[in-house]
Every structure is written in C-alpha cells, then in structure tokens.
Structure 1
C-alpha cells in the first residue's frame, strides 16, 4: 500500500530525524537518492548536460547538492538561480565539483539533457513566481528530461491543486513519503513517473496517513471468497434499481457489473426488465416497487433512472445502499444522515458540484477537499469518480483512498453504471462501504486497462474484463 502525508506531518518527521543525525546529513541522503535517480534516467552521466533550477530554500539545496554529485561523475552542470538567494552549502558544493552558475539560462536549457526542478518544492504556495515562468517554459520546450525535486514547483502538496503556472515534470523524485499532491489530480498529472527515496522517515511518521492507495495484495484481502457451504443467498443478493424507458442500457450495464461483483444473485427492479433478461437471463427481475421485489443485502440505485421513483423507499431500507447518477439529483442530506445502515454515494465531478452547490471546476481543481466535504455533509462514504477516483469515509480520522488503476479510455458512456453495479454487489457480499468502493474502483480501472490495451473500449467491454481483473488481483 502506498501512503501519503501532509506537509506538516513530513516536516515534523524530518525534524525528529534531524535531531538524531549530524548537521546536513538528511539533505545529503536526499541529494544522494536524487542523483542516483538522475543517473538512472540519463543512462550515461559522463558528458551529460544538466541544468539545476534552484530556488532559495532546502529544495534548491537538494538540487544543488545532487548537481554536485553528478558533476563529480563527469556531467556538465549549470545552475540557474531563481530565488532571492542561493542555498550557500549547495552552491559551494556545486562549484567545488566543477559546476557553474549560468550567465544565460536559456542558452544552457536549449542544450540540456536533464533539468532538475528545485525551485519551490513542498513548501510552495500558489503557482510559480513570474520570474520563473519563462525559464520553466524554456525547460519544458527543450529536449531535456525534466525531473522535479520532491514535488513539481507550483503545485499544492497537500491538496493536489494547481493555481497558476507549474512545472510539468517527466519524473518526480520524492523524499521520505509520498505527498497527497503526487497521487491526486490535477497535480498528479504534473508529476510524471514518481520515485520514492527512503531517507529514514518511516519510524517518525504516524501510523494513520492522509491518503492511501491500495495495491493488488490489499484488494485481494478484501474480495469475498465463497465457502463450501455457500449458496446464492448466503453469498448475498444485490438489488439494482436502474434504467428507464429512455435509458434501458443503464440497467443492463449496472446488472453486468453486479453479476461480476461477488454477490450470489442480482435482483433487478425497474422498467427495463426485458432488456436485462435478454442479455442476462440469470437476473431476478421485478417490475417494482423495490420494497416488493424480495429480500436483498444491499441496493444500488440511480443509473439511467430518470424520474422513476424508488430512491426514498430504498433509503428507508435497513441494508447498505449505493446511490449514483439520477439517484443523486433529489438526495436529501438529512435522509441520508438519518440512515442506520451504510450509504455509499458515487458522483462524478458534475454531480458532486451539484451536491455541494459549487462549480464543477471547483471540484475538479480540489478533488480531495470536495470528497471530504461530501462525506462529512452527508454522513456517507463517497466515491468521487474521475481521473483520480477518491474514496472518503464519513469518519474524518480514516485516510482518504486514492485509486491507482484506470485509463483515459474509461471516460466512456456507461462505465459508471458498471462501477455502480460492481460496488453494490460487493456491499451485498458483506464488504464495508469504504472497502466495497475501493475494491470496486480498483477492479473497474484494472478491467478497463485489460479491455483497452491502448484502444477505445465501450462500457460492456469493461464489464466483460472484470473476471480477468479479479483473477489478476488474487494471483
């Protein structure tokens, strides 16, 4: 599992570690890891042309010390000083190793093989300063590989927001712990490939991180496994309330996801029963209302629902409920908060914006803040879909989960309906709302990768790839 920590937490851990180390030792550890990563990227250090963009803080010091190490290995290293003052120790080390301060930053950037971004790092606020913007644009416009030191300059470490101009790195070398902005869009897009350098912070970091990203082994531990004595009812029955005369396909896709989610049976309720049975004859179909359809262990309601009633009745049930798409439009926060059983909301950015009463751009710019606010306001687990899918629990003391799987090809009509059915089925199989949402997002993204393989896919392709994704995860 990958974990990420806020800046203040990382700073506290660094201070605790530095108190036990000789002066400057921690920066040297960071510089050594950074130089090693750069050497790997370059392949051949001797004769390579490296430009260090150095701000005046410790981030600039890390970059200058790393530049000195590369210079000692035969690289031609030039420093472009962008802060009010240079880090004295780092600059002295660079000049002793044969590096130099560039007279013309644009000339050295035009010839560079690698550019180190050490302008602001994790302590930066807002976008780049005006004097740094043309230099960063020149670096990005060159043929050089751009490597960010700890975090791309200009992005927000704690939230992933990008306010103004920022460095777009090909790779980021981060120290001690991941920062939330490295895992959450829009900042994640600016970080490129991320490499973590261990500098010894682990024992000084708290046991509960700010963010966590599950991996195969974590998801495998969550997935339901039927026992010998299991039957379809013991494995759980998920009720799917979806589709309408106008959108029967949403019902088919939600059922497709549900059938592959671990529950023993799927009960479909709604007007699209014939379309569902034509594709999935194993489905238990009922015209409705939900309360008369039979016993279920969880409900998933909303995809393609239109104005079909049922949301209020489902919310009054005593089983876990997932609400998506059209089901979110008339959602009453008080009704959700009054529930004693778990509730899982699965909005995309536009739906989240409507629930919060803000603009969609605000949600997309600060996804981490939005998912936390939604979970707190509705007293529900929230899965915020998008380029970075996030899962927040209404308990504020649990880490937000960020989903690491997926592909841009997943942005296709109906894919969210498949996800709703899948997550609802995991709820019915007995997973907690936070775990059901996290595992569903992980499998959904992995299935999309398998189905796409670099080409466009439709939502039904993603559903068909779910068994293979499940097998991948459990090994």
Structure 2
C-alpha cells in the first residue's frame, strides 16, 4: 500500500530522525537517491558528458539539487546551477563548486542544450504557484528537450491538497523522499508529477501509523475481496437490490445490474422501468414490481443510476434510504439529497458523485471541486455522515472521522464514457452486499473498475461501459492471481 503524509507530519518525522543522525546525513541520503535516479534516467554510460541544469531555490529542495548535482559532476556530467532567490544552500553550493559545477550568469543559455533539468525551485512548503521571477525559467525548462526531474515535489503545486493555484513546472519524473505527499497522488497536482520514484531515507521509523492518504495495491485488494466458501449459497454471498433506469434511460439499469453481477453478488433483485431490457441482457436477474419494498430481502441497495425525474423516483430513493441495510446512492439519486436523512440512517451509506454532482451537493461551482478534490470529499463525508466516493481523474474514497482518504491508482482517461459510473455503482453495491465496509467496498470497486478499463482499452483505445463491465472478471483474476 502506498501512503502519503501531510507536510507538517513529514517535517516532524524528519526532525525526529535528524536528531538521531549526524548533521547533514539526511540531506546526504536524499541527494544520493536523487543522483542515482538521474543516472538511471540519463541511461547507462550517458552520465559522463551529460548536460545537467539545476534550478535552485532557497529551500532544502534546492540544497538536495545542489548536492545531487555535485555527485553527477564528479561522474563527469557538466552541471550548471541556475540560482532563483536571494540565497542558496551554502553547503550544497560549495559542494557543487568543489566538484567542478558552475553557476549560470544567464539562466536561459544552459537550458537550451540541457539533457536533464532538476527542479529544486520550491519545497514541500510552497504555496500559491511559482514566483513571477521563476515563471520564465520554468517555461524555458519545460520547453527544452531535457528530462525534467522534480525534487520531492513539482514546484508550484500544493503538497498537502494537490491544488495548483498558479503556474507550476510540469515534471517528467518526481523523485520524492521518505514518503509520498498527498499532492503527488491527487489531481490536478498529480498530473504535474509524472512518474513517481520514492527514495527511502529512513523516515518510516518516525512517521505515525495512520497516514493522511493511502492507495491500495493488488495484494491489498486481494485480501479484501470476498471469496465464497464450501458452504456458501446465493444468499450468503449477498443479494443486492438495484433501483435504476427509466423509460428514457433503460441502459442505466442494464449497466448497473451488469456491474452488480460482475461484482460477485449471489443474486441481484432489480426494481425499475428497465425490467425487460435487464432480463434480455441478464436472465438470471430477479425482476420485481415497483416499489422497492416489494422486492424482498437484500443485503444492500443501489439507487439512482438513470432514474431521471419520473414519477416515484424521489419516493423510491426515500424508501431505500429508510431501509436497514447499506445503501449506495448515485447519479439521479443524489439530486436534492437531504444530509439529515442520510445522517439519521442506522445503516451505512455510500455516495458516489462525480464533480458536478458533488458541486451541487455542496452548493459550490464545479471548478472548485475539481481544483480542491481532497477538501471536497472530506466536506461531503462530514456533511452527510456517509462514505463518499468522488469520481474523476483521481477517484477518492473517504469514510470520515479523520481516517485516511483512499486514492484509487488504477484507471484510464478512456473511462470518461457514458454509463461507466453505472457499472461502478453496481460493482460497489455488490461488494457492500457481500459484507465489505463502505470504504473497502468503494475502494475495491474503483480499483477493479479502473483495472478493467485498462484491460478493455489496452491503455490506448476507446472503450464502452459494456466493455469495461465485461473486463471486470479478468481484472478480478489479475488481482487474485497476479503473474
């Protein structure tokens, strides 16, 4: 599992570790790891004679860049430092000069022919984008043919929130130290980080046990997914009720039911106007007459995909929310949702909005949600007393009560297609019916959903929601039996 910690926590852990180590040892570890990463990026035998430019600010990241630059210079690279700010790290600057590095008079001249640029302009405490004097230099670095490597974090992004409030330098690779920072895992900052490399500097011993963010990996999901035993029957495996679709959107019903069936439910009970379409696609579905209370016993409900504004839709949402089982509310079910009703439930609730639906629930512009995804998912969970899966380029899951936010690491931009959210809802609802807690059900569903999309698209081709649903079985198998 990947974990990420806020700046305040990282700095406290670093201070505790530095108290145990000789002076400068921690920066030395970071610089050594950074230099090794740069050597691998330049390629075997290409360090000697390589042209490396260091963009150096006034903080410790600038010092890391200088010390790493000194190591590269000692291996034969031509290293030039561009100093941005009133002062640079004195020890790092001395080390670079002693190794044969130079300080640029003109910041743009060395960038024009650089093979690799180290971005050490700002540190993890930076806020509000790049300073005006650094902007043209950052643009020149990004416009060059060089590989841009961010030191710990791309300059101009917010380490804690993932927000990009001004101009930032987009990296090809980010080499981060000790632990991931939230902004490296959450868009929009995540888009600026490029490929992530974590350098172990011994910080694990001083970091607290509970991170701010976590991202599941295959082995984590494999431990959580339900596996039927010898005594299992369809009821023990979980029965999920799906209230979805309408005369206008019968496809939403089919896709939500498909997701539920692919999620391992023992049985799916469907209620809605799309019964004929559902049976045509999945004859194993148990179709029931309106309203939902006539469907019989279920272990979870999924309500909302494709309900539209037809008569009875609001009543159906209210009826499902009045039940005593976990409920997933998506799409049209989120419209006008009352926080007090959700908070008053005796069973768990999982809300799965996209950014536009989240904005409506929070009464803020969509752009505010997209710019501050961490703040939005936390506020929604706290306001509704529910677990929230916020869909988007970075899908986040938060269960409230100060627990870590889960960041989904799988997926592809091809998932931005009609109906994919309906499949996700059914899949998560099925895992709820199997007994997984809402945070686990949501994060496992998002993980499998994203993995299925990658399989269906091969990473490069368009996919439909139906194709994503069809690839869930293979994604499940990949997780449970990795190669």
- 2:204 and 2:232 map into 1 onto residues whose CA distance is 42
> What's 1:460 paired with?
466
SS at match of 1:35: helix
* Alignment partner of 2:316 out of 305, 310, 315: 310
- 1:230 and 1:97 map into 2 onto residues whose CA distance is 68
> What's 1:443 paired with?
448
Instruction: Say whether 1:3 aligns with 2:9.
Output: no
> What's 1:417 paired with?
422
- 1:40 and 1:392 map into 2 onto residues whose CA distance is 37
Deviations 1:283-315 (A, max 9, x none): 000121001111100000000001224000000
> What's 2:405 paired with?
400
- 1:262 and 1:336 map into 2 onto residues whose CA distance is 27
CA apart distance, 1:96? 0.6
Deviations 1:329-357 (A, max 9, x none): 02110000000100000000000000011
- 1:41 and 1:349 map into 2 onto residues whose CA distance is 36
CA apart distance, 1:123? 1.2
When normalised by structure 1's length, the TM-score is: 0.99
Q: Which residues in structure 2 correspond to 1:267-416 (within 5 Å)?
A: 267-307=269-309, 308=313, 309-396=315-402, 398-416=403-421
> What's 2:241 paired with?
239
Q: Which runs of 5+ in 2 are unaligned?
A: none
Q: Which residues in structure 2 correspond to 1:56-455 (within 5 Å)?
A: 56-307=58-309, 308=313, 309-396=315-402, 398-453=403-458, 454-455=460-461
**Are the counterparts in 2 of residues 183 and 402 from structure 1 also a CA contact under 8 Å?**
yes
Deviations 1:252-300 (A, max 9, x none): 0000100011210000100110000011110000121001111100000
- 2:399 and 2:28 map into 1 onto residues whose CA distance is 39
**Are the counterparts in 2 of residues 271 and 287 from structure 1 also a CA contact under 8 Å?**
no
- 2:440 and 2:70 map into 1 onto residues whose CA distance is 47
CA apart distance, 1:124? 0.5
- 2:468 and 2:370 map into 1 onto residues whose CA distance is 24
- 1:106 and 1:248 map into 2 onto residues whose CA distance is 59
- 1:190 and 1:265 map into 2 onto residues whose CA distance is 44
- 2:38 and 2:292 map into 1 onto residues whose CA distance is 59
- 1:297 and 1:214 map into 2 onto residues whose CA distance is 25
Aligned residues: 474
Q: Which runs of 5+ in 1 are unaligned?
A: none
Deviations 1:113-148 (A, max 9, x none): 000000002011110000000000000000000000
**Are the counterparts in 2 of residues 447 and 463 from structure 1 also a CA contact under 8 Å?**
yes
**Are the counterparts in 1 of residues 417 and 464 from structure 2 also a CA contact under 8 Å?**
yes
- 1:37 and 1:163 map into 2 onto residues whose CA distance is 29
When normalised by structure 2's length, the TM-score is: 0.98
Deviations 1:141-181 (A, max 9, x none): 00000000000000000000000000100000000000000
- 1:394 and 1:256 map into 2 onto residues whose CA distance is 29
Deviations 1:83-116 (A, max 9, x none): 1111111111101100000111111000000000
CA apart distance, 1:394? 2.3
**Are the counterparts in 1 of residues 130 and 168 from structure 2 also a CA contact under 8 Å?**
yes
- 2:349 and 2:106 map into 1 onto residues whose CA distance is 59
Deviations 1:354-401 (A, max 9, x none): 0011010000001001000000000000000000000000222x1000
CA apart distance, 1:241? 0.3
> What's 1:23 paired with?
23
**Are the counterparts in 1 of residues 128 and 158 from structure 2 also a CA contact under 8 Å?**
yes
- 1:360 and 1:61 map into 2 onto residues whose CA distance is 39
**Are the counterparts in 1 of residues 336 and 361 from structure 2 also a CA contact under 8 Å?**
no
**Are the counterparts in 1 of residues 157 and 163 from structure 2 also a CA contact under 8 Å?**
yes
**Are the counterparts in 2 of residues 387 and 408 from structure 1 also a CA contact under 8 Å?**
yes
CA apart distance, 1:216? 0.3
Please identify runs of 4+ aligned residues in structure 1 that moved more than 2 A. Answer: none
SS at match of 1:123: coil
